[in-house]
Amino acid sequence: MSSVPRINPSILAADFVNMQAELARIAAADFVHVDVMDNHFVPNLTFGPQMVERIQATSPVPLDVHLMIDDPDRWAPGYAELGAASVTFHLEAAREPLSLARRLRDIGARAGVAVKPATPVDALFELLDEFDQILVMTVEPGFGGQGFMPETMPKLRRLAEEARRRDAQVWLQVDGGISESTIAQAAEAGADTFVAGSAVFGNDDPDAAISALREIAAAHAHR
């Protein structure tokens, strides 16, 4: 696990019409978080490979693609082939999560797995070395701007403790309702990678917002 907090702004909160300019505003970010939704796995529709390819071509920072889609076994490798640095699929949607994670790594992307708020994480304990990132959703996936769910923190804490016990080099990410008022809770529970949407893009100075979030997370990092 890493001790350096990563801040990944979510473009769900960006101005889609001016995407290139919006991406230029977050040069201080570690990654840009790209939510792909298919209106099946979650009740919302965003965009697909063509848009991700354009974001990849114009982003000043690497892409952290989060697939909220059915059949990631079929579709996820394509996002890795587009050059995304990290591709995360949902445990609830994948038929063969281990095979898919290995395929993503073979292509050259970091392999991530995400769990919804109600999904247990115990089954992942034996598999921590198979993933580069585990995303604990801190809202129900599908829409930006939702409130942070503190009841997801116990399972994040258990994941962090298990990763530490096994010396697993897996990043623990949280996504949903992350702001200056909630990031400390997630950092204390063990998260080291934070997706923030409106807390970044809603600020007049996104890079300053990123720095502030990073400082709070570092001050409250899980020891």
CA separation (Å) from 46 to 109, 158, 177, 221?
22, 32, 19, 33
> What distance in Å separates the CA atoms of residue 87 and residue 109, rounded to the nearest whole number?
7
Annotation says 35 is catalytic: yes
- Would 200 be classed as within a structural domain? yes
- 3-state SS assignment for residue 52: helix
Q: Which of 30, 35, 38, 192 is catalytic?
A: 35
87 is in which domain, residue-wise? 6-219
> Token match 């796995």: residue?
41
- Would 56 be classed as within a structural domain? yes
Please give the model's pTM, rounded to 2 decimal places: 0.96
- Would 150 be classed as within a structural domain? yes
Return the CATH number at 187. Answer: 3.20.20.70
- Would 78 be classed as within a structural domain? yes
Q: Which of 30, 38, 132, 175 is catalytic?
A: 175
- Those residues of the chain that have pLDDT short of 70 are 1-3, 223
How many independent structural domains does the chain possess?
A: 1
- Would 178 be classed as within a structural domain? yes
Asked if residues 219 and 202 have their Cβ atoms less than 8 Å apart, the reply is no
Instruction: Read off the pLDDT of residues 154-180 as tens digits, 9 standing for 90 and up.
Output: 999 999 999 999 999 999 999 999 999
- Would 1 be classed as within a structural domain? no
> Which pLDDT value is given to residue 27?
95
Instruction: Read off the pLDDT of residues 124-146 as tens digits, 9 standing for 90 and up.
Output: 999 999 999 999 999 998 877 77
